[in-house]
Structure 1
């Protein structure tokens, strides 16, 4: 990927690139689930998003260390960066909207638990109504998330690197950016699959074995994607583990609430209510930390765009001034 033709890489540039790729390799290894049950837990998804934030921060630091000012960037690099970043912002907005929807569902669960604190028939009716609302909430389609597939396909198509001529620093930047893009598409495709409930959003990326992080990535992708496809193959309502746990509690409680609790079922009923409360709280906590991780990624992408746009205004390397204007309008939408 770094051609021997043209400018050669100095020892200093190779050191920077090697350090970046070694860190990426270790980061990918840390994402390997210790157990198949870890796949698509909210805690694992948080770890994946935090890992992605760290990689994007690393590429920002690398650009600084390369001392490659924007005025030396080729137009095609800038075009690729701006195009990718606006798509990442769209994905973040979609993921955030789904997390908001799930959090709204948690409010309905709180109403259920409040009403089940009494044995009044009226309270049972209210609890049943709230459960009906919760089931409808989690099964409803989110148009924003459903639109992720074409965005992901476009990002996958952008993995091919622009050719770099006569710029050793440019070659390092483009190769490092390739690693960033591969991890980004991988993580975002998993989020899209989890939130849409469809394995069609999973992407299988092929990377060159010559890359030092290729083995770690391929093993991670094969492990995670296979487990997600297995989860979908058994007809799960949702592949999010904490959400599935809540759904299991709901399935146990709903008939009791609907038909009434017999004296012999009193202990089972109370235990089931306690289980629902515990699982609902775990779901809520997981959604909160994952929402913060997605928000952090959104801010990293947005601040990176802002920094580039500020430099473009000063150095003006883009031949068409409308490019900057249009991108700024996209960033403000």
Structure 2
């Protein structure tokens, strides 16, 4: 696992929307749409803050975070529909940024799915351990070999997760969206998209930190106070990042709480298996084996549920991208700058096959 890094300097972004109200002449309808979106966003952020800090980096929280991210991206789709802003009215810069970022998000989803699958594969090692210890004839050497295999598998690195850091760097560089001059609807859309990008980057950075065993890319984003959801975001970010950094300073094999519970069970069982069983340890073996089964099943179920939410997010990003590309083709507005990005979509999808 990577060693704890010094806290990252906050990423300060200028407020690209300081002119959104000045001279924008937003209609009551547009103001109401924007307000509804931002109020909903703030409420979603408040619900993301764990009541118990022990829930931070649990699979249940990560599942809820991904579920919330799906809801936020669905909210922006709803807003786009309500704005009645046809694709032909989109600036080419907006389209390029959207398509480029969507590919990056698809790649991040693929990396997360890959790591969840890798972690789930560790279940096979522990199933072998349980098989060799729960039968009438105990196979201690085989059980020990499987425990060693589990430890080696869990401590290995996933290159796709390491690559996420570079992808998130690119997302951070484009978080300051293009300036909007003559479109009131465009201003509303870009302001809403800014919020979606900030929260997406924040949540993805937490996932990458949890999966990689490194907090080097745990982001600290500064959101201008002009956004009504800024306070909720700042509170959530401070709470999560501070606790995650504390966890890193005291961690063992992992920072994932559910995986740590499995590791604790393995550590209790290992010396019994290693030394061989005597009458005094029979009860301890039974208890440790039962505990390992419980923790293993909980971990596997948690990973399965998280995998479903990551896949749901992938599908939301992909369908949104497909819809935009379809509208561009129908309108005959596919530019040269868009076409290469369209090809990347096919590459990203094929990676999952």
TM-score range, shorter chain: over 0.9
Residue in 2 that maps onto 1:72: 89
Q: Which moved further from structure 2: 191-200 or 257-266? A: 257-266
Segments of structure 1 that go 5 or more residues without pairing to the other structure are none
Contact 2:213 2:254 in 1 (8 A): yes
**SS of residue paired to 2:322:** helix
Q: Tell me by how many angstroms 1:6 deviates.
A: 4.3
1:21-100 alignment, distance < 5 Å? 21-100=38-117
Structure in which a larger fraction of residues adopt helix: 1
Distance across 1 between alignment mates of 2:80 and 2:310: 23
Segments of structure 2 that go 5 or more residues without pairing to the other structure are 1-16, 348-353
1:257-296 alignment, distance < 5 Å? 257-296=273-312
In the alignment, is residue 327 of structure 1 matched against residue 341 of structure 2?
yes
Total equivalences in the alignment = 330
1:1-333 alignment, distance < 5 Å? 1=17, 3=19, 4-118=21-135, 120=137, 123-320=139-336, 323-333=337-347
Q: Tell me by how many angstroms 1:117 deviates.
A: 0.9
Distance across 2 between alignment mates of 1:317 and 1:59: 22
Distance across 1 between alignment mates of 2:57 and 2:335: 45
Contact 1:2 1:171 in 2 (8 A): no
TM-score (norm 1): 0.97
Distance across 1 between alignment mates of 2:217 and 2:179: 29
**SS of residue paired to 1:212:** coil
Distance across 2 between alignment mates of 1:82 and 1:2: 25
Distance across 1 between alignment mates of 2:240 and 2:249: 14
CA RMSD of aligned residues (A): 1.2
For residues 216-272 of structure 1, the C-alpha deviation after alignment (integer angstroms, 9 at most, x for no partner) is 000000000111111111132111111000000001111111110221111111101
**SS of residue paired to 1:199:** coil
Contact 1:105 1:138 in 2 (8 A): yes
**SS of residue paired to 1:160:** coil
Distance across 1 between alignment mates of 2:39 and 2:26: 18
Contact 2:99 2:338 in 1 (8 A): no
Contact 2:59 2:303 in 1 (8 A): yes
For residues 50-75 of structure 1, the C-alpha deviation after alignment (integer angstroms, 9 at most, x for no partner) is 00000000001100000001100000
Q: Tell me by how many angstroms 1:328 deviates.
A: 2.3
TM-score (norm 2): 0.91
Q: Tell me by how many angstroms 1:157 deviates.
A: 1.3
**SS of residue paired to 2:161:** helix
Contact 2:115 2:211 in 1 (8 A): yes
Q: Tell me by how many angstroms 1:319 deviates.
A: 3.8
Contact 2:96 2:338 in 1 (8 A): no
Residue in 1 that maps onto 2:12: none
Q: Tell me by how many angstroms 1:25 deviates.
A: 0.2
Contact 1:42 1:240 in 2 (8 A): yes
